[in-house]
Amino acid sequence: MILHVLPLLVFTTFAGFAAGAYAVDAVCGNGREAKTPWLFPLVCVVLLGIGLCGTLAHLGQPLRFMNGMANPASGISQESYWAIALGIVIVVDLVISWHGGRALRQVGGEDGCGCRACPGVYQRGHCPLRVLRDGCRRVRNSGFVFALPPPKTRWAARMPFAGFCFAVVNSRNSRLARTRAITYSSCHNLIP
Amino acid sequence: MHAKHFGQLIVGKRHDGDVLYQAMGTFPRTRLAFRLMLCNHCEDPVCVKHCPTHAMHKDAETGLVLVDQDRCIACGYCTWTCPYGAPSMDDVHHIMSKCTFCKDRISEGQTPFCAEACPANARVFGDLNDPESEPSKLLQQKKGVQYLPEMGTNPSVYYV
């Protein structure tokens, strides 16, 4: 049974790693400058790639994987959209970081919570990304989202793991599995 | 086009639970109940809603829930979401497969093999939209119940 769901586990784990690490680094990174800024997006894109390979391994007909994005109402299709969008962001970030530009890392994390603290900074008339970034920092500094100790500490370094756990627990498949476990007996589909 | 609504009526008590066989009654009047694993061809099938490829679809003409095996990617999502465990993976061809109510037979005016072969005539098949059909008459005479109606899929199989 575990072998049957292993590819899905690979996808959920590694894609969750990439998404969680990326989002939490965007929120908690506090603009720290790394010596090799391209390394983080490179690791994330590798993790996401491994996860997507797990998805293909899960499919009985992997060559038809494009069909899997036909129904926007389906959870699997939605996961595909988000995984592709995340992959594009990471690749763009990787390219920009490689050429020494400013990373896009904060975009992904800021669009989620930055707007919650934006009304005040809108008056400053900055560009939207800067507004989002400032808003995100306000949220973070107020401790509203993560109630974190200061960045650049051991806690901050471990937050990608927390983000990974959050992503795994809230992934669509995981929620569906929990719903099934609550609603039906787990042996429901094991009857030959 | 008005879609037909083929349904099947199972004569006998429905038993709850997810086991295939279940002991019912009290000693000495006990018996072994059998739960059918056929597709319920729901009015609002959750497998169709969650199929990422639209391979699982509801036929507009007959109302049957069918799988287009040329589109299916065999992700198994329909088996996760179906409350009745109807879709099953064909491990040989790596494709999803399910009960079709023998659509080729019913298009020729015949009944599905399961209804045809049942020695006790415990399965009755027909158009539920036709008040003169055998299952409609049985449903009028006896109270038919659906399996897991709380799932909101409005299955087309009734137990009397």
Interface test with B, best of A11, A56, A64, A171 (most B CBs within 10 A): A64
Return the structure tokens found at A124.
């400053």
Contact status of A71 with chain B (Cβ, < 8 Å): yes
Flag whether pLDDT at B48 surpasses 80: yes
Q: Rounded to a whole number, what is the distance in Å from the CA of A178 to chain B's nearest CA?
A: 11
Q: Containing H/E element for A5?
A: helix A2-28
Specify whether the CB–CB gap between A38 and A98 falls below 8 A. yes
Contact status of B71 with chain A (Cβ, < 8 Å): yes
Contact status of A182 with chain B (Cβ, < 8 Å): no
CA distance A132 to A121: 9
Contact status of B9 with chain A (Cβ, < 8 Å): no
Q: Do B52 and A69 touch (CB under 8 A)?
A: yes
Flag whether pLDDT at B29 surpasses 60: yes
Contact status of A174 with chain B (Cβ, < 8 Å): no
Return the structure tokens found at A188.
């429901």
- In the prediction, which pLDDT does A183 show? 46
Partner residue facing B52 (CB), from A62, A77, A184: A77
Flag whether pLDDT at B63 surpasses 50: yes
DSSP category for residue A149: P
Confidence of residue B20 (pLDDT cuts 50, 70, 90): low
Confidence of residue B43 (pLDDT cuts 50, 70, 90): very high
Q: Which of B71, B66, B72, B69 is nearest to B86 (CA)?
A: B66
Confidence of residue B47 (pLDDT cuts 50, 70, 90): very high
Flag whether pLDDT at B55 surpasses 50: yes
Mean pLDDT of chain B: 84
Mean pLDDT check: name the lowest of A147-156, B52-61, B107-116: A147-156
Q: Do A74 and B49 touch (CB under 8 A)?
A: yes
Which A residues, 128 through 167, put their C-beta within 8 Å of a C-beta on chain B? none
Low-confidence ranges of chain A (pLDDT < 70): 1-2, 29-34, 101-192
- In the prediction, which pLDDT does A187 show? 36
3-state secondary structure of A136: helix
For A57, the closest chain B residue by CA position comes to B75
B16 contacts on A by Cβ (under 8 Å):
none
Give the residue, A168 or B118, on which the prediction is more confident.
B118
CA distance A167 to A62: 25
B143-155 core/surface letters (b: 16 or more CB in 10 A; e: else): ebebbbeebebeb
Q: Rounded to a whole number, what is the distance in Å from the CA of B33 to chain A's nearest CA?
A: 15
For B51, the closest chain A residue by CA position comes to A74
Q: Do B80 and A191 touch (CB under 8 A)?
A: no
Flag whether pLDDT at B45 surpasses 50: yes
Specify whether the CB–CB gap between B25 and B156 falls below 8 A. no
Q: Which of A174, A17, A42, A167 is nearest to A98 (CA)?
A: A42
Give the residue, A35 or B109, on which the prediction is more confident.
B109
Give the residue, B39 or A133, on which the prediction is more confident.
B39
Q: Containing H/E element for A71?
A: none
CA distance A133 to A103: 13
Residues whose CB falls within 8 Å of the CB of residue A181, separated by 6 or more in sequence, listed in order: none
Return the structure tokens found at B20.
């295939």
Angle between helices A39-58 and A75-98 (to 10 degrees): 150
- In the prediction, which pLDDT does B59 show? 92
The torsion defined by the Cα of A117, A121, A122 and A124, in degrees rounded to 10, comes to 180
Q: Which of B62, B64, B23, B17 is nearest to B40 (CA)?
A: B64
Contact status of B73 with chain A (Cβ, < 8 Å): yes
Give the residue, A66 or B15, on which the prediction is more confident.
A66
CA distance A108 to A18: 12
For A71, the closest chain B residue by CA position comes to B52
Contact status of B95 with chain A (Cβ, < 8 Å): yes
